[in-house]
Amino acid sequence: MYKEIIIENLSEMKIFAEDIGKTIFPGFLLCLEGDLGAGKTTFTKYFGASIGITDMINSPTFTILKIYEGKNTLYHMDVYRLMGIGMDFELEEFIYGDEICVIEWYKNIIESIPDERLVIEIEIIDLDKRLLKIEGTGKYEEIVEKITN
């Protein structure tokens, strides 16, 4: 299932992230893609807050993985620096576990992640406006339908 939506501002991005937060289940996998500054980490902050994370979420670019504990556990990965390296960092236990996992720059390790996933590609339209390309495979298809209607 594939849909596109326009997000006009940060308030709409927050609402969208909260809507996704209402759909989580054990092992939820959310993959994000977009240019630098598109809003991947901003989206993750809103998403994390919606699932009960109270710590400040920031980009794990240099650490690859940050773990946030709250009502749920969130594994937040930024695999920008792993292009072509694959799973040498042994991230499988986090990606294939029962916790919630968000992967920024997921295409850099695409061959190492499950086929079933929710993907959001964020394109910059202008300062605050974004085009979101949302794709869900397997059990995530119904989520795409739910969050885009």
pLDDT of residue 81: 79
- Domains annotated for the chain, with CATH where assigned, are 2-137 (3.40.50.300)
Residue 88 neighbours by CB under 8 Å, 6+ apart: 82
What global pTM score does this model have? Answer: 0.93
89 token code pair: 């960092």
What end-to-end distance do the CA atoms of the chain give, in Å?
A: 13
Rounded Cα distance, 73 and 75, in Å: 7
pLDDT tens by residue, 90-129: 788 899 999 999 999 999 999 889 999 999 999 999 999 9
pLDDT tens digits, residue range 40-86?
A: 999 999 999 999 999 999 987 778 899 999 999 999 999 987 765 55
Write out the two tokens for 65.
């993985």
Measured from the Cβ of residue 17, the count of other Cβ atoms closer than 10 Å reads 24
